[in-house]
Structure 1
Amino acid sequence: MSQRQVLQVFEQYQKSRTQFVQTVAELASRPQNIETLQNAGVMSLLRPLLLDIVPTIQQTAALALGRLANYNDDLAEAVVKGDILPQLVYSLAEQNRFYKKAAAFVLRAVAKHSPQLAQSVVDCGALDALVICLEEFDPGVKESAAWALGYIARHNGELAQAVVDAGAVPLLVLCIQEPELSLKRIAASALSDVCKHSPELAQTVVDAGAIAHLAQMILNPDPKLKRQVFSALSQMAKHSVDLAEMVVEAEIFPAVLTCLKDPDEYVKKNVATLIREIAKHTPELAQLIVNAGGVAAVVDYVGESKGNVRLPGIMMLGYVAAHSENLAMAVIVSKGVVQLAIALSEEPDDHIQAAIAWALGQIGRHTPEHAKAVAVANVLPRLLQCYLEQMFRKIYRQSKKALKNILQKCVHLPALEPLLHDAPPNVLKHVVGQFSKVLPHDTKARRLFVTSGGLKKIQEIKAEPGSALAEYINTINNVYPEEIVKYYSPGYSDALLDRVDQYQPSA
C-alpha cells in the first residue's frame, strides 16, 4: 500500500468522525431523536471524540453532549456518570474559544436540572475554570461562562456562595459594563441568581458596585436586558431595609415608573416587583414611592394587566396601605380600591383573588372611613362568593365519611338556601353533585333535606338539559316518591288550586 493510500485511509477516518459528530449534533437538536440516540449508546461514542486531535470534532462533540444533557436530567446524569465533566473542565483552560463556549454549554446544561447535578459540576472543579473564562477577550466565551455560573447559583444559597467564593461576582459586574447586549443580559441574570438567596449574598453583589451599573441601564431600549436589570435590583432590594435604600439611592425614581408602561410584559412585571420589594420595608420608603407618583402608576398598571403579571402590583398596593392610615388613603385617592374591585371580578385564579382580598383588607382596616371606601366599591359580595367557593373546595377534599357528615349537617343550616340559590354556577354544580352522592345512601339526610327546604330549592334550579347539574338533580329526585317531588316543584300549589276551582263536588 502506497503512502498516498495510507493517508487516504486516515483522511477517510477523519471525514467519518466529522460526519458522525455533526450528524449527532444535528439529531440532538430535535427532541423526537433523543431517546433513540440514548438507546444507541451515543454518550460513550461521543466521549473519546472530546479528545480528538481535530479541534472541530472536539467542539462538535461537546455541542452534541450539551444538547443531550440539556434535554432532561437523566441524560445530564449520564454525562456525570460518564466522567465527562473533568475532561471538559480541563479543556476549558487549554482549548480555543469555540471549544470553551461548547464546554461551558455542557456544564450549564448539566447544572440547570437540579442542585445535585449543579453540585456535581462544582465538585469537578468547574467554578475556577468558568471564572477564568470570564476574563477571556472573546465576549462569547464570557457569556457562556456567565450563563453556566448563573445556572449553578440559582438553585440554593450554598451553590451561590460557592460561585461567590470562586471570585465570580466582581467579574460579572465587569461583564455588565461590556458593550455586547447579550453579555450584559446574561451577566445581570447571573447576578440576580446569586443575590436572591440571602441578604449576605445580595450584599456581596452590592459591595462589588453592581447597583450603580444596573441603575444606568433601566432605560435601555433592549427589553431582554431590562428584564434582567429589574430582576437583579428587586432581588437585592427584597432582603432588608438597608439594601432597599441602597437601590433607591441610585436615583431609580421616578425614571423606573415609566417602565410600567413598557410594551414587554416581563419588563413591566419585574418593575412592579421591584417597586413592591422596596415599598414593603418601611413607611418612609413607601412614602417616597407615593411622592414619586408610584401609587397612581401602579394602579394604572393593575388596570392594564391580567393574570400573574398583575400580581406584584396588587401586592404593592397592599404593602403601601398596610404601613399607615395616610398611605392607605393615598391608595384610595389614587382609585386603588376601584381597580382592585375590577381585578377581583376579572381574575379566576385563587392566588390572585387571595392577594386582592389581602390588599383590600390592608386598605380597609385602619378607620371606618377606610372601611367605607372598600365597602362602597361593592367588593363584599364578590369576596363572599370567593369565600364560599373556597369553603366547598375544602369540603371536596375531605374523606367520603367526613364529607357525608358535613353535608348531613348542612341540611340543618339556614345557610342552605343561599348556597343552593345564590351560589355561582360552578359552586352550585359541585354542591348539588355532593348531595346527589350522599342522599341516596342516608335516610335521615333525605328527610332533613326535605324539611329544611333543600328539595324545594333543588326544583327551582334551572339546569340546562343534559348538563351535569341536571343529572345531579335527577339523581336526587329519584330518591324521593314522585308525588313528593311534584309537591315541591314550582307551580304545583297553583295546579292544586286550579284543581280545587275546577272540582265539582257530587250532589
Structure 2
Amino acid sequence: MAARLIEQAFDQYNKSRLQFVQTVADLASRPQNMEHLHANNVMSLLHPLLMDVVPAIQQTAALALGKLASFSQQLAQTLVSGNILPQLISQVPVQNRFYKKSACFVLRAVAKHSVELARAVIESGGLNALVVCLEEFDPNVKESSAWAIGYVARHSPELAQSVVDAGAVPLLVLCIKEPEIGVRRVAASALSDICKHSEELTHVVVENGAISNFAALITSPDTKLKRQILSALSNIAKHTLALAELVVEAEIFPDVFSGLQDDDDLIRKNTAGLIKEIVKHTPELAQLIVNAGGMASIVDYLGRSEGHVALPGIMALGFTAAHSQQLAMSVIVSRGVVQLAICLNDEKDDHIRGAVVWALGQIGRHTPEHAKAIAMANLFPKLLECYTSSDSSDDLQDKARRTLKSVLQMCVYMPALDPLLHEAPPNILKYVVGQYSKVLPHDPQSRRQFVTSGCLRKVQEIQAEPGTELREYINTINNCFPEEIVRYYSPGYSEHLLERLETYEPVWTDGAREDWQQDTPPAPSAPPAAAAGITA
C-alpha cells in the first residue's frame, strides 16, 4: 500500500512538472502573455528543470526558454543574467537529438538580438556546442544549429571570425549538399552572413568549395533557398575582382538572369544585387554581362520593380555605364535612360532617387552623344528640381548638382539648354552658358535660334562679375553677334532709345524747312464777338 502511494506521488510529481513546462511553452507562444510570465519570474522556475531526470521535461523547458528569449532583448538578457546558458550548454554533448534541437533554439533566440548577447553565447561555450550539433546525423538538429550560427556571425566581423575559428565553415558547406531543403537554406544563409563582412572571411568560405555548391543550386525551384544562394554569391563577389571572377567562372551566366523575372521580390532583388557586385569591378566583367544580354534584362526588371527592390538594378546600370563610353552606350541602347527617367518620376524615397540621379550622371558624362540621350529624355528639368527643391535631402541635392555639372559640360543639344538658361541657379547657370559659348561660335543656325528664342536677351540680363568664368563665357557669346544686336537686347536699351528721342533735334536739308512752313496752314485767329454770336 505504502509503495503504491509513493509511486503515485512521484508519478503525480512528474506529470505536474511536465504539465507546467508544457503550459508555459504554450503560453510563451503568444506575445500577450510575455509580460505576465516575466512578472511571475518564470525563467527562475524553468532553470532547474533543465537538469530534470525526465528528458521530455528538459526538452520542453528549453523550448519554453527559447520562446521567451526570442520575444525581446530584455527577456534574452534576463536569461543570460540568470546564468542559464552554461547549464543548458553543458547538457548538449550527453543529451539526445531533441534536447540538442531545443538548446540550439535557445542559443539562436539569445544571439539574434545584439552583438553583446551573441558574444555572451560564445563566452558560455555555445559556439562549440553548436558546431557539435552540426555534426549530428539528424537534419533538424543541423538546421537548428546552422540557424543559430548564422545569427552569431551576422552581427560583426569579430563574431564571424569566432565562427570560422570554431571550425563551422566546412560543416556548413557540407550542409549545402544535404538532401533536406531546410538544412540547405539555413546553411546558405549562415555562409552568406559570414561572407558579407570581409575578404578574409570570404576566402575561408571559398576555399572550402562553397561557390561550386552555390552555383549548382542557382536554378533551384525552392524560393527561399534561391534567395539565400543569390545573397551568398553577391556577398562573395562584392569584395574583390578575384572573388568576382571566381563567381563568374562557376558558369552562373546566363542562367542567373532568370531570377530577374521571378515573381518573388527578394529573388529579383538578390539577382540584381549579384549582377551589380560583378559589374562594378572592371569593364571586362561589365562587358561580359552586356554580351550575355544583362542590360536588357536589368531594364526589364526595373520596369517590374520599385523601391528597395529596384535599387540594385539602378546601381548596376550606373556601375556599367561608369566604366567606358561603349558600355554607357549599351545602357542607352537598352533603353536604360528611359527606364531611369520613369524611376526618377515615380520613386518617392530620396535614397532611391539619389541612386537614379547618380546612375544618370554616369551615363551622360562621357560624350555629347551620351549627354544628348539624357537631354532627349527631358531629364534636365527634373534634375534641376531635385537640386533646388527644399524637400530634397542633402544627399539627393549633392548628387543632382554633380550630375548636372558633369552632363551639362558635355551637352551641346541647345533645345535642352534653353529652359535651364531661364531657371537654373547661378552655380548651374555657368555650365549652361559655358556650353553656349562652345557651340555658338561654330554654328550660325544656332546663333539665329539663340536670338529668336530670347536666350540672347536672357544672357544680357545675367549679372556676372568681371574676371569670372561666367563673364568670360558671356563675352564669348556676345562676340558671336553684331554689336548693335547685343546692345538692342541689353537691359535698359529701349529706355535709352526713348531718352534719345526726347532730346533729338531733327536735321533739316536745304529748303525743307521753308517747304514745311509753306505747306503748313496758319493757325486760326479768334473770331469777332459778333461772329461768335455774342451780344451785349
TM bin (shorter chain): 0.7 to 0.9
**CA deviations over 1:413-467 (Å, ceiling 9, x no partner):** xx9x989xxxxxxxxxxxxxxxxxxxxxxxxxxxxxxxxxxxxxxxxxxxxxxxx
Report the AA paired with residue 199 of structure 1: E
Residue-by-residue CA offset, 1:320-353 (whole Å, 9 max, x unaligned): 0000000000000000000000111110110000
Partner in structure 1 of residue 250 of structure 2: 250
2:181 is the alignment partner of 1:174: no
Task: Specify the alignment match of 1:305 in structure 2.
Answer: 305
Q: Distance in 2 between matches of 1:93 and 1:337?
A: 60
The normalised TM-score by structure 2 is 0.73
Is residue 189 of structure 2 the alignment partner of residue 189 of structure 1?
A: yes
Shift of 1:389: 2.8
Aligned to 1:492: none
**C-alpha separation in 2, matches of 1:30 and 1:241:** 48
What residue number does 1:370 align with?
Answer: 370
Could you say which residue in structure 2 is the equivalent of 1:79? 79
- Where do residues 320-335 of structure 1 align in structure 2 (5 Å cutoff)? 320-335=320-335
Q: Kindly provide the amino acid, as one letter, of the partner of residue 229 in structure 2.
A: V
Cα distance in 1 for partners of 2:88, 2:287 equals 53
Q: Distance in 2 between matches of 1:52 and 1:388?
A: 69
| Paired residues for 1:310-349 under 5 Å | 310-349=310-349
The residue aligned with 1:136 is 136
Compared CA separation, residues 212 and 300, structure 1 to 2 (3 A): same
Looking at structure 2, the residues matched to 46 and 239 of structure 1 have their Cα atoms a distance apart, in angstroms, of: 46
- Provide the rounded CA distance (Å) in 2 between the counterparts of 1:60 and 1:393: 52
Q: Counterpart amino acid of 1:24?
A: V
Q: Which deviates further from its counterpart, 4-13 or 355-364?
A: 4-13
SS in 2 for 1:251: coil
1:45: which partner in 2?
45
The 3-state SS of whatever aligns with 2:177 is: coil
Tell me how far 1:94 sits from its aligned partner: 1.0
User: 2:486 corresponds to which residue?
Assistant: none
Task: Give the AA of the match of 2:308.
Answer: N
CA distance in 2, matches of 1:379, 1:418: 14
Mapping of 1:83-482 within 5 angstroms?
Answer: 83-390=83-390
CA distance in structure 2 between the partners assigned to 1:254 and 1:56 by the alignment: 51
AA in 2 matched with 1:143: E
TM-score by length of 1: 0.77
Distance 2:256 2:269 in 1: 12
- SS of equivalent to 1:378: coil
Offset, 1:387: 2.1
1:390 Cα deviation after fit: 4.5
Paired residues in the alignment total 398
| CA RMSD after TM alignment | 1.5
Tell me the distance in 1 between the aligned counterparts of 2:378 and 2:103: 60
How far the C-alpha of 1:393 sits from its partner, in A, is 6.1
Query: What SS does the corresponding residue of 1:239 show, helix, strand or coil?
Result: coil
Percent identity over paired residues: 65
- Between the aligned partners of 1:314 and 1:57, the Cα distance in structure 2 is 54
Q: Deviations over 1:65-112 (max 9, x none)?
A: 000100111111111111111112111111111110000000000000
Equivalent-residue separation in structure 1 for 2:317 and 2:288 (angstroms): 14
Following superposition, the deviation at residue 391 of structure 1 comes to 6.0
Deviations 1:14-57 (A, max 9, x none): 11111111111011111111011001000100000111111111
**Range 382-391 or range 145-154, more displaced:** 382-391
Rounded Cα–Cα distance in structure 2 between residues aligned with 1:244 and 1:51:
50
Match in the other structure for 2:495 = none
Query: What secondary structure, in the 3-state scheme, does the structure 2 residue paired with 1:220 have?
Result: coil
Equivalent pair of 2:386/2:392 in contact (CA under 8 Å): no
8 A contact 2:157–2:197 mirrored in 1: yes
Q: 1:25 to 1:391 in 2, by over 3 A?
A: closer
Q: Secondary structure at the match of 2:191?
A: helix
User: CA separation in 2, counterparts of 1:257 and 1:7?
Assistant: 68
Contact kept? 2:153, 2:190, Cα under 8 Å: yes
User: Does the residue aligned with 1:204 lie in a helix, a strand or coil?
Assistant: helix
Which is worse superposed, 240-249 or 83-92? 83-92
AA aligned to 1:14 is: N
What stretches of structure 1 of length at least 5 have no aligned partner? Answer: 395-414, 420-507
